[in-house]
Homo-oligomer: A and B are copies of this chain.
Amino acid sequence: MDRRIQKTRQLIMNTFIDLLAEKGFEKITINGIAERADINRGTVYLHYVDKFDLLDKCIERYVELLLNHCANSTDTTLNAGALQSIFEYLEENFTIYKLLLSNEGFGFFRSRLYAIVSQTVTEVIGIKSENSAFSNGVTTHFLTSGFIGVLEWWINNSMPCNVQEITEQLMFLLEPYTKHLVSR
């Protein structure tokens, strides 16, 4: 893809996030974004239909970035490395995800994250344990909610424990399920 597109979108999103933190979604204008980013107003419309669309794309992007940090691990195995990688990334971009998980995110971020994670979990369960007692929606939503709940708690409370601790604790909690679900 043309590098101008990547740069411009990155710039617009960064500016959007900054303004979101400063004044909230309500008071954000396309005008304001263009001025702050020092680009033409029309350029914003070249990439996003309006500020709602921009919020959507922004959330989509940051969900993607977050999950890429475990998709990078070669297999679908839920291993400590992938978990740790995610929480390290969250730590680095703490302010952004705190913002997206706050009221300013309108719950959209949470629901997008939930949708993707639960789908992945469903797939993994389906593949790994076709004949076991885990092949049902309850398991999927139990694990997804648990994981996302912990993630949300950790961010909202400004990382009350370090990455090492939360990773280990989470792995411990998931162990009973990984034993049956994730092995090959």
4 contacts between A and B (CB under 8 A): A3-B38, A3-B39, A3-B40, A7-B38
With both beta carbons as reference points, the residue of chain B lying nearest to A6 in the complex is identified as B38
| Residues on B with beta carbons closer than 8 Å to the beta carbon of A39 | 3
| Residues on B with beta carbons closer than 8 Å to the beta carbon of A3 | 38-40
Interface flags for A1-27 (1: CB within 8 Å of B; 0: not) read 001000100000000000000000000
| Residues on B with beta carbons closer than 8 Å to the beta carbon of A38 | 3, 7
Min Cβ gap A9→B in Å is: 14
Interface positions of A from 31 to 56, Cβ below 8 Å from B: 38-40
With both beta carbons as reference points, the residue of chain B lying nearest to A40 in the complex is identified as B3
| Residues on B with beta carbons closer than 8 Å to the beta carbon of A7 | 38
Min Cβ gap A171→B in Å is: 38
Complex Cα spacing A40 to B2, Å:
10
Interface flags for A160-182 (1: CB within 8 Å of B; 0: not) read 00000000000000000000000
Complex Cα spacing A38 to B3, Å:
8
Min Cβ gap A111→B in Å is: 34
Complex Cα spacing A39 to B40, Å:
20
Min Cβ gap A87→B in Å is: 29
Complex Cα spacing A39 to B39, Å:
17
Complex Cα spacing A138 to B40, Å:
52
Interface positions of A from 102 to 117, Cβ below 8 Å from B: none
| Residues on B with beta carbons closer than 8 Å to the beta carbon of A40 | 3
In the A-B complex, the 4 residue pairs with the closest CB atoms: A3-B38, A3-B39, A7-B38, A3-B40
